[in-house]
Amino acid sequence: MGSFIGHALPGSFFYFMGLWWSTKYILKYDCKKYKRSCYFNSKSSFYRLELLEGIIIISMALIGITAEQFFPGGPYLTLYDYKEGHWKQLKMWHHCTMYFFFGLVGVTNILCHIYRSLPGSLPKLMLSNAFFVEALIFHNHTHGQDMLDIYVHQLLLLVILVTGVLIFIDFMRSNIIFALLHTSFLLFQGSWFWQIGFVLYPLNGGPAWESTDHNNMMFLTICFCWHYAVSLTVIGLNFAFVTWLVKSKLKRFCPTEVELLKNTEQEQESEEEM
């Protein structure tokens, strides 16, 4: 929807999923690393989480679709107004299509949970797919709007495309660094959605930023980079926090193993020193 809430809602969804996935990836990474020392009941619990994840993603998509369709001024599920002979609220249908493809990710998640013979990386492929579809729709979405509006959506398009590519790379060669990188882009996209909301529909009810002032565009360029820096920092802090948590928990439950681990690490280091 062309309103503040219409940008804040997907922004929050992306931010939440970014935080959640980064936490999951870090946990998985840590559990794998300390696997030999202490046995979390990890694999099966991650498995169950996948089901929960699928349900959450589908709910988000449904919330988004419902909001787009039934908010005052929405198309109420009709596509063509036969009386007046024109399409009805196609922008809302654009948004719904995007939500629908994200919903497909959730469906794949659940299918992969039920049929374990399906490859586990399928949801990642669908996710990267959903971003490419989002990018395509956004690319054909800003017709006839003014310069500033187009510019912030172009920047958004850039984030979306890079996210899609990164998830695709992560799908091809699973790797903690790529995983964290693409989650940081999810945070980035989320916070940029909020920024677009603030720029085009200021909360104080005032008018949108001056659209023809080139300085505004120049500021938004660096603002965009700062959003990225913040996203990277948040992911870094999350990594530090979760790893510290896992280590401290490990220390409490199986202290002897941690000792062993430390010794091994020190030995490796001293070997490297030589």
Q: Is 5 in the site for a copy of itself (CB under 8 A)?
A: no
Query: Residue from 100, 142, 198, 257 that binds a copy of itself (CB under 8 A)?
Result: 100
Q: Is 208 in the site for a copy of itself (CB under 8 A)?
A: no
Shortest spacing between CB 168 and a copy of itself, in angstroms: 10
**Cα dihedral 70→161→139→155 (10° resolution):** 90
Q: Is 84 in the site for a copy of itself (CB under 8 A)?
A: no
Query: Residue from 32, 35, 36, 43 that binds a copy of itself (CB under 8 A)?
Result: 43
CA triple 105-186-158, angle to 5 deg: 100
| Structure tokens belonging to residue 77 | 């599920």
Phi, psi of 87 (to 5 degrees): -70, 150
Q: Is 222 in the site for a copy of itself (CB under 8 A)?
A: yes
| Structure tokens belonging to residue 24 | 């999951």
Shortest spacing between CB 3 and a copy of itself, in angstroms: 19
Burial tier of 163 (Cβ tally within 10 Å: 0-12, 13-18, 19+)? buried
> How many whole angstroms from its chain centre is CA 83?
41
Smaller CB separation from a copy of itself, 8 or 108: 108
**Stretch of 51-59, 65-73, 121-129, 190-198 contacting a copy of itself, by CB under 8 A:** 121-129
Q: Is 83 in the site for a copy of itself (CB under 8 A)?
A: no
Shortest spacing between CB 136 and a copy of itself, in angstroms: 7
**Stretch of 3-11, 65-73, 195-203, 228-236 contacting a copy of itself, by CB under 8 A:** 228-236
SS3 86: strand
Which residues in 88-108 are b (16+ Cβ under 10 Å) and which e?
Answer: bbeebbebbebbbbbbbbbeb
Contact 235, 183 (CB under 8 A): yes
> How many whole angstroms from its chain centre is CA 77?
27
Q: Is 76 in the site for a copy of itself (CB under 8 A)?
A: no
DSSP 102-157: HHHHHHHHHHHHH-TTS-TTHHHHHHHHHHHHHHHHHHTT-TT--HHHHHHHHHHH
**Stretch of 15-23, 65-73, 192-200, 225-233 contacting a copy of itself, by CB under 8 A:** 225-233
Query: Residue from 66, 121, 248, 263 that binds a copy of itself (CB under 8 A)?
Result: 121
| Structure tokens belonging to residue 172 | 């091809």
Q: Is 177 in the site for a copy of itself (CB under 8 A)?
A: yes
Q: Is 114 in the site for a copy of itself (CB under 8 A)?
A: no
> Which residues form the interface with a copy of itself (CB under 8 A)?
43-44, 47, 79, 86-87, 90-91, 93-94, 97, 100-101, 104, 116-117, 119, 121-122, 125, 129, 133, 136-137, 140, 143-144, 158, 172-173, 176-177, 181, 214-219, 221-222, 224-226, 228-229, 232, 265, 269, 272-274
